[in-house]
């Protein structure tokens, strides 16, 4: 079912919706088709802006776009006001044509302020690289991860989300695609983890999940509620950021 058809089913108090990586097209491996798909980039953002305004929610995800000869896997965060923030995926998956057809981003993930929360974004394969995700001095509270991660590597996906949440003392939202393709199956692998690595919202593959969670996942959404006060108390009680190493990534903005 298309995103536009599912949006009226969202809970009314939802603040942020995270869509999967390349949610409009999936990964296209043919260069000619890729160029054609990239021509719809403006239409994609226009549609997302309309949804964000109509439902009064921020919407994040990724799409493909082209600038000159370069094609990017571009993450987006669209606010109800129409303000848009973008991030170009840095790490392109070496075992797929993505690394040959797309251009890696050259800027660190930015931090966006929305409804009192500091929010950042990476895309799928970026999750494997801890320095790239590093939460320096608690710059972000919430990390969004649109993804296209197959079940063949589901153990890594889930546990990398847990590890990144713990080491960065932040909430991690992994929004994975559904369905299947030549690389495998993708269903039931969207998760939300708190800064202690505890699952706030499981995918449908989690047999121990409550009936209500399974119902939400089956309808296309999983939900979690966060408390900024609880997050701050946890960080004060366990101030590990004070012991973290400082560093610079050469050549990054």
Maximum distance among all alpha carbons in the chain? 54
Q: Is 79 a catalytic residue?
A: no
Number of H helices, E strands in the chain: 8, 12
Q: Check: CB of residue 47 under 8 Å from CB of residue 18.
A: no
Between CA 147 and CA 120 the distance in angstroms is 15
Catalytic residue among 21, 49, 133, 158: 21
Catalytic residue among 79, 124, 133, 158: 124
Region for 207 from its dihedrals, namely left if φ exceeds 0, alpha if ψ lies in -120 to 50, beta otherwise: alpha
Phi/psi for 90 (5° steps) reads: -85, -45
Other CB atoms within 10 Å distance of the CB of residue 121: 27
Q: Is 237 a catalytic residue?
A: no
At 70, which helix (H) or strand (E)? strand 70-78
Catalytic residue among 49, 89, 133, 158: 89
Instruction: Say how many residues make up the chain.
Output: 253
Phi/psi for 158 (5° steps) reads: -65, -45
Between CA 172 and CA 220 the distance in angstroms is 19
At 253, which helix (H) or strand (E)? none
Output the CA torsion sign for 222, 219, 186, 209. Answer: positive
Q: Is 89 a catalytic residue?
A: yes
Q: Which residues are catalytic?
A: 21, 89, 124
């Amino acid at each position: 079912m298309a995103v536009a058809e599912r949006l009226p089913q969202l809970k009314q108090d939802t603040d942020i919706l995270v869509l999967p990586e390349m949610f409009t097209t999936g990964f296209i491996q043919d260069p000619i088709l890729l160029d054609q798909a990239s021509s719809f980039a403006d239409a994609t953002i226009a549609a997302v802006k309309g949804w964000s305004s109509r439902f009064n929610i921020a919407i994040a995800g990724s799409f493909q776009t082209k600038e000159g000869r370069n094609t990017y896997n571009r993450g987006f965060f669209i606010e109800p006001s129409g303000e848009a923030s973008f991030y170009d995926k840095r790490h392109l998956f070496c075992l797929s044509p993505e690394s040959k057809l797309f251009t890696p981003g050259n800027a660190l993930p930015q931090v966006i302020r929305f409804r009192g929360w500091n929010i950042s974004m990476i895309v799928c394969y970026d999750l494997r690289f801890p320095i790239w995700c590093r939460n320096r001095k608690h710059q972000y509270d919430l990390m969004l991860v649109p993804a296209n991660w197959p079940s063949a590597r589901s153990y890594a996906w889930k546990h990398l989300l847990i590890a990144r949440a713990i080491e960065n003392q932040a909430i991690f939202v992994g929004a994975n695609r559904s369905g299947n393709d030549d690389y495998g199956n993708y269903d039931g692998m969207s998760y939300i983890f708190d800064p202690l690595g505890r699952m706030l919202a499981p995918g449908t593959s989690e047999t121990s999940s409550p009936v209500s969670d399974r119902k939400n996942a089956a309808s296309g959404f999983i939900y979690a509620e966060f408390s900024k006060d609880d997050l701050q108390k946890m960080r004060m009680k366990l101030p590990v950021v004070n012991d973290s190493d400082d560093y610079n990534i050469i050549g990054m903005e």
